């Protein structure tokens, strides 16, 4: 039996144990998958202990992703670009790390027939969640990406970090809107989780074809409700991304890529 776990703080709400158990059932693999709460101050010692004491892989969630990046001996190219990772495992005595968040987003967009090539996108937020998906988004060659954040300096830092990727990037204040029509608006802020109001110029929704909220809930998320109220008809939340990024982690650990459609439907009914 292979042993896996998700680590974070808090962790009780995590859907990862259910998702990975269903993947294992789908592929006929015997696994256990735990949810383990770890405080940042205990991260290094506890994580090393878990990997030394029989865990074959760990998923990492907030607020530990940057700590996991610094702990790892070897990090994937994507992980190095983002400076944060969500997947750990051990090989030949070394701790290896990767980030599957961006791949999970692209897979979910593909499953929903959304193309990013030559698109004009808005990304709300410039924190860890935005950084985790931006390299993957840029890999599909959108025409332009505009980053809006409450702190303009953080948006500008992201633009500067990826300015040589062959995509037009710009940062503007949160209450402004980019010129011209938009393809999609992607929300990476934590407003849904923290209960904060998302202060933005709702005119961006009137210019866009679709919205995507990295957060998810049983009902429509607050961000997607705002988008709908402002005229967008096509709205997605992050549940599909959650399941898809989990599937990529599962493949790293087991060598087998689980199908996601049945598991996604099951998790939706489980919320």
Enumerate the active-site residues.
65
3-class secondary structure, 66: helix
Which residues neighbour 60 within 8 Å (Cβ) at sequence distance 6 or greater?
A: 6, 7, 8, 68, 85, 86, 87, 88
CB-CB neighbours of 231 under 10 Å:
11
Phi-psi region of 81 (alpha: psi -120 to 50; beta: other; left: phi over 0): alpha
Which three-class secondary structure state does DSSP give residue 75? Answer: strand
DSSP state of 230: T
Nearest 5°: phi and psi at 54? 110, -5
CA distance 24 to 27: 5
Residue 41 is classified by DSSP as G
If you write DSSP's letter for every residue of 85-124 in order, what string do you get? -SEEEEETTEEEEE--HHHHHHHHHHHTT---TT-EEEEE
Closest residue by Cα to residue 2 from 63, 55, 75: 55
Q: How many secondary structure helices (H) and strands (E) does the chain include?
A: 12, 12
């Amino acid at each position: 039996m292979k042993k896996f776990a998700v680590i974070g703080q808090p962790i009780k709400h995590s859907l990862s144990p259910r998702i990975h158990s269903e993947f294992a059932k789908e592929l006929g693999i015997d696994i256990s998958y735990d949810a383990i709460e770890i405080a940042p101050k205990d991260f290094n010692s506890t994580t090393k202990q878990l990997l030394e004491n029989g865990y074959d892989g760990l998923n990492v969630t907030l607020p530990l992703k940057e700590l996991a990046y610094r702990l790892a001996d070897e990090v994937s190219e994507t992980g190095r670009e983002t400076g944060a990772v969500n997947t750990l495992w051990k090989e030949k005595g070394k701790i290896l790390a990767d980030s599957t968040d961006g791949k999970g987003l692209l897979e979910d967009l593909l499953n929903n027939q959304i193309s990013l090539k030559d698109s004009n996108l808005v990304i709300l937020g410039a924190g860890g969640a935005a950084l985790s998906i931006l390299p993957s988004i840029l890999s599909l060659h959108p025409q332009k990406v505009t980053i809006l954040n409450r702190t303009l300096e953080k948006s500008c830092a992201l633009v500067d970090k990826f300015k040589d990727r062959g995509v037009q990037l710009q940062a503007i204040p949160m209450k402004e809107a980019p010129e011209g029509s938009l393809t999609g608006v992607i929300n990476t802020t934590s407003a849904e989780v923290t209960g904060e109001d998302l202060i933005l110029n709702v005119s961006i929704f009137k210019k866009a074809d679709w919205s995507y909220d990295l957060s998810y809930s049983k009902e429509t998320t607050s961000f997607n409700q705002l988008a709908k109220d402002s005229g967008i008809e096509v709205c997605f939340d992050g549940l599909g991304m959650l399941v898809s990024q989990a599937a990529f982690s599962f493949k790293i650990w087991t060598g087998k890529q689980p199908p996601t459609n049945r598991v996604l439907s099951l998790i939706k009914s489980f919320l």
